[in-house]
Amino acid sequence: MDLKQFYFLFVIILIFLPGCLKEQKEYIEEKQIIEEKPMEVVDMAKALFIVAPNNFKDEEYFTPKEVLEENSIKVVTCSLKPEAVSINGKKVKADVLLDKATSDYDAIVFIGGAGASIYFDNTKAHNLAKEFYKKGKIVAAICIAPVTLANAGVLEGKRATVWNGDYVSKLEDKGATYTGEDVTVDGNIITANGPGAAEEFGNAIVEKLQ
């Protein structure tokens, strides 16, 4: 390379070097901003599912649970014993025992089935339902489980549905208006009448939580 070519190359470098350095500086600064920016943490909604220790209805637990989880809602299972057994013999582990349960969730859901009658007169179950209701959180029940809500006093003056037969009068005796619908939503209270309504029940809970 002769002197003339060297000077030419030197001039070219002087012309383009500041621009390159500026672009590199801007890239580094932008990268630092991205790396230093804290990640946004989004709290996942949580629902407390109350199941009987024995003879809870399979569809009324597993179907709404699946619907909620598909919509990024965490389901926490609660029962009187560490393990609950469904009508069809399926076993599920309780994440929390009833006597340790709190209202630190976004929704409480009472699952039906013949075994759900164990909560009809359970003081802890009643207190939880009332706490969720007073805090403006979602209170839900399916099949015969709305009777627990009625006995807790949260269905008075509310529209609700329930499994048919004598359970209808148990709601009406506590001041509820029986609708006969598959799923009834009255404010933050959601009730459903049985396993055939399990998916719709789950979707109604999701809609309220979202």
Asked if 86 and 112 count as a contact pair (C-beta separation under 8 A), the reply is no
Retrieve residue 39's tokens. 């990640």
Q: What CA–CA distance (Å, rounded) separates 140 from 191?
A: 6
Question: Alpha-carbon dihedral of residues 168, 170, 174, 178, nearest 10 degrees?
Answer: 0
In the block, which residue shows the tokens 């919509």? 71
pLDDT in tens, 32-52: 544 554 444 447 899 999 999
Retrieve residue 14's tokens. 């002087």
pTM of the model: 0.81
- Is residue 145 pLDDT above 70, yes or no? yes
Q: pLDDT value at position 51?
A: 98
Asked if 192 and 205 count as a contact pair (C-beta separation under 8 A), the reply is no
Q: pLDDT value at position 37?
A: 47
Asked if 209 and 139 count as a contact pair (C-beta separation under 8 A), the reply is no
- Residue 44 has what DSSP assignment? P
Q: What CA–CA distance (Å, rounded) separates 27 from 12?
A: 23
H-helix or E-strand spanning residue 203: helix 198-209
What residues pair up with 189 in beta bridges, in sequence order? Answer: 139, 186
**Nearest to 159, CA basis, from 138, 190, 130:** 190
H-helix or E-strand spanning residue 142: strand 138-142
In the block, which residue shows the tokens 């599912």? 49
**Nearest to 94, CA basis, from 43, 133, 53:** 53
> Strands, E, within 57-123: which ranges?
74-79, 83-86, 91-93, 96-97, 107-110
The neighbour count for residue 172, using CB atoms within 10 Å, is 15
Retrieve residue 72's tokens. 């990024």
Mean pLDDT value across residues 68-90: 98
For the ranges 26-30, 161-165, 167-171, 202-206, the lowest mean pLDDT is seen at: 26-30
Angle at 204 between CA 200 and CA 209, to 5 degrees: 145
How confident is the prediction for the chain on average, in pLDDT?
A: 89
Q: pLDDT value at position 205?
A: 98
pLDDT in tens, 92-116: 999 999 999 999 999 999 999 999 9
